[in-house]
Chains A and B, each alone.
Chain A
Amino acid sequence: MRLNVNPNRMELMKLKNRLNVARRGHKLLKDKLDALIQDFVRVVRENANLRRQIEKEVVRAFEAQNKASLMLSEEDKELITVFSRQRLVLEVSTRRITGVRVPHFEVKVEGSPYNYGLVSTPAEIDAAFGSFFQVLTLLVKLAEVEKTIELLAVEIEKTRRRVNALEYVLIPSLEETIKYINLKLDELARSAVVSIMRIKGSLK
């Protein structure tokens, strides 16, 4: 679609400059898009691995919990879970992946996870607690990776829209307008030559 501009040299210069900037911007955005996609694929792979690991760990943790449950009476179960002084502190910071701000979660444990005695409880419960704690840290990592994927996907979509807008809308319309102005200016030049020739002929 041609832009609505006056076909003069000034506009032509401006449009050529804009076309240059648009082409450079398009190249930069295309490079950014490639980098984002590369990072996105890497994070998605990381996510898939993490999910597989979590699925395995969750199964292991629940197996450990079931095994521990066999050895515990209901009173023991309540005794183990009723009161805990352990605090989990989630530290949230941000980092940048190809210019995109993504969250970084870190879990810090304050206090002991073991809130029960060692004489009347079975050792299986330690294994269950250990497994679930491992699952917890992996789940926090998964949350970080999933949020990163979401933010990268939004950024990729935004960048792709910009690239497409430049590639299929702005650059073609600038090119078309430049072409139009060039044609118009050529036509003006030709008509000026013809006028001069006609004036010259009438003078003779």
Chain B
Amino acid sequence: MKLQTIQSALKEDTGFAYLVGRVRALESGILTQKILENILKTEDLEQALRVVAEIPYWGTVFQGTFHSPQSIDETLMGHYWSILEDFDRYRIATPLTRFFILNFDFNFLKLAMKCHLAKKTVEKSYPTTLDTKRVFRFFAGEGREFLPEPFEDAIREAFSAFESHAYNVQVLEFVLDRFYLQEVYRLALKYESQVLKNWLLAYVAFAYLKAVLRARCQGGKPEMVRLMYTPNPLVSQESFVSLLGASPEKVPEMIADLGFSFILPAESFHDDPYYVAEVEKQMDNYLIRFARSFRSQTFGPEPVFGFLWAKGIDVKNLRILLEGKYFGLSQEALRDKIRECYYE
């Protein structure tokens, strides 16, 4: 038994050693602030794509892509998804990639549910591990069809909440968001690495804070917003609900009490989507700064996780810059939107 444990530990170390080795090589393709500045300085999309083509591992990504937001996004998402699939092939990395793939799967599920309600089909193919036909067969109530956990329960609960809340579509997403965050929280509890656990808990807490601030702007009803809450140690249900109903003057104080005052921009708090967008940026920046410490780990899951998160942020930044160039937005407007990089 002891020998088996040692063997499996050794196998895990070897697995991560190989993956970390791959990550070290691929990290040369991670964007830096300097590259982002170079893309920012370009005059149009054509020039920006030429700068991107010079980055290692990005050279061929945009070859043959039409210069439109749709194809830029498809290329970026395709690139990111192929990396995730590549890492997901290694059993040792599955718990890590699961966090990233969950987001895609839940997004696809939301889209499929909405299409089902609108009596439409999902025309394009989006990155997901779920089988479109099976999902639609499950919606249609085919007896023998099943979906992996937690999707089955999520779908059932989302449809029943949709019916009990006067067919409000937002309720569907709130329930699915709860299942998504619940799953992320479960993953956090499963991770052995304490830093990864903390990172995921911060992610869940930020998701709730962001949701509650946006619900305030939309005038969301507490009984509906509560549907997305899942118990977690950083944001209690009481704080979650009281944040929704608190006066704007009290919100910064309440967020500071939760220990997250650093996510608030310098200007005074107000219920405005652009203010919340700034809060979201601060959250993303905090998470990437947190993930930077993973780079210094020689072995283990942290560098792999950090790399995958950094790649996601790169995709976000490139979408902002390339689509921004396509729409002809100013450098300042784009600079306001881009997130910090994994490498300073």
Contacts and interface: CB of A to CB of B under 8 A. Distances in A.
B117 A116 contact: no
A67 B333 contact: yes
Contact of B211 (A82, A85, A118): A118
B66 interface: no
B6 to A, nearest CB: 41
Interface residues of A, number: 31
A83 B274 CA distance: 25
Contact of B173 (A78, A117, A126): A117
B333 A119 contact: no
Nearest to B114: A83
A82 B280 contact: no
Nearest to B120: A82
B170 interface: yes
B214 A70 contact: no
A79 B111 contact: yes
Interface string A76-94: 1011001111000000000
Interface stretch (A107-115, A149-157, A163-171, A183-191): A107-115
A198 to B, nearest CB: 103
Interface residues of B, number: 56
B292 to A, nearest CB: 23
Given A73-B77, A82-B120, A126 B217 contact: yes
Given A70-B323, A70-B324, A79-B110, A117 B170 contact: yes
A69 B327 contact: yes
B169 A69 contact: no
Interface in B291-344: 316, 319-320, 323-324, 327, 329, 333-334, 337
B228 A82 contact: no
Contact of B111 (A71, A75, A126): A75
Contacts of A85: 167-169
B277 A112 contact: no
Nearest to B106: A120
B108 interface: yes
B169 A84 contact: yes
B56 interface: no
A117 B174 contact: yes
Given A117-B174, A117-B177, A126-B273, A82 B111 contact: yes
The 4 closest A-B pairs by CB, nearest first: A117-B173, A123-B276, A127-B273, A118-B211
Given A70-B334, A71-B337, A115-B170, 13 more contacts: A67-B329, A76-B107, A79-B114, A82-B118, A83-B118, A114-B218, A117-B170, A117-B174, A118-B211, A118-B215, A119-B180, A127-B272, A127-B274
